[in-house]
Amino acid sequence: MQLIKKFCKGFGKELQLQNFNYEYNRVELFYKSQWQKNELSFTYLLYRWVLALFFLGVHIICMIVQFCDGKFFIYMTNWGFGMCTITQIIAAIQVTRWHFDLQNIRSLVQESGAKARMTRSLKLYWLIYNMSLSLALIISTVYWIFLHGKMNKPARFPVISVLTHGLNSVLMIIDFLIIAFPLRLLHVVYCMSTAIFFFVFTVIYHFSGGTDEFGNHYVYPILDWTKPVGCIITFAGIFMLYIIFWLLLFGVYKLKRVFNRAFSIVWSPHAVGLL
């Protein structure tokens, strides 16, 4: 019961208008893992680069085998995976800067303490992380429920399909459990902008006579603008998914903090002495 009360209290605080912005007074959390005990963690640095290079490698392979005279860029799946790739590369660079104190980034944050300010690069990282995390979940859900086996085209690269429609979300969720910086409820508004931009793109693409690589007059069958009512329903459904997933992620974020505090208490020197 106490846990529920704390969650509701935290939920109410999240709805304050100031949480629309990308300011946070614990800047160091954007460079650390939620679970590292020391100021620096080579394990976390290695993890960041392994994940970044994996996403980059898969994305390059996808572009090579699925380019199709530029048709590669019309799919939301590729937008989402590309965004995940950019996010992971930025994360790896930021953690590298912190680990080796490049441009005195760590020294300046430590000297400033709670007065340290978010840099533009950190705000961009936070924004694109939110967008790529939510988009990965949307892509996986919509594909496996509404599109798999219903695309009116042969499944040419089943392994790549699993990587870009399934493993993308798995890795992003695992990463979400590892990172230390917060999730803001009101940031879902910025995440939704990706879907809005893609829907506008599909409208323009359709009325410009665009087709997929097999000549279909739509990017996805659920976004066939010869049937606008169905497209509007799809649009509304995806927005509902964004809200549902973001609320679930917020709950996971709160639980993650609870477990982290418990972990910190158990492994504190005082607690170990009591044991």
pTM above 0.95, yes or no: no
Query: How many angstroms separate the CA atoms of 123 and 129, rounded?
Result: 10
Inter-axis angle of helices 188-207 and 76-99, to 10 degrees? 140
CA dihedral 153, 159, 161, 163 (to 10 degrees): -170
Q: What is the pLDDT of residues 15-72, one digit of tens each?
A: 888 889 999 989 999 999 999 989 999 999 999 999 999 999 999 999 999 999 999 9
pLDDT band at 268 (very low <50, low <70, confident <90, very high): low
pLDDT score of 3: 62
Q: How many Å separate Cα 239 from the centre of its chain? A: 16
- Asked if the model's pLDDT at residue 102 lies above 50, the reply is yes
pLDDT band at 275 (very low <50, low <70, confident <90, very high): very low
| % residues pLDDT > 90 (the chain) | 77
Mean pLDDT of the chain, nearest integer: 91
Beta bridge partners of 179: 33
pLDDT score of 156: 78
pLDDT band at 157 (very low <50, low <70, confident <90, very high): confident
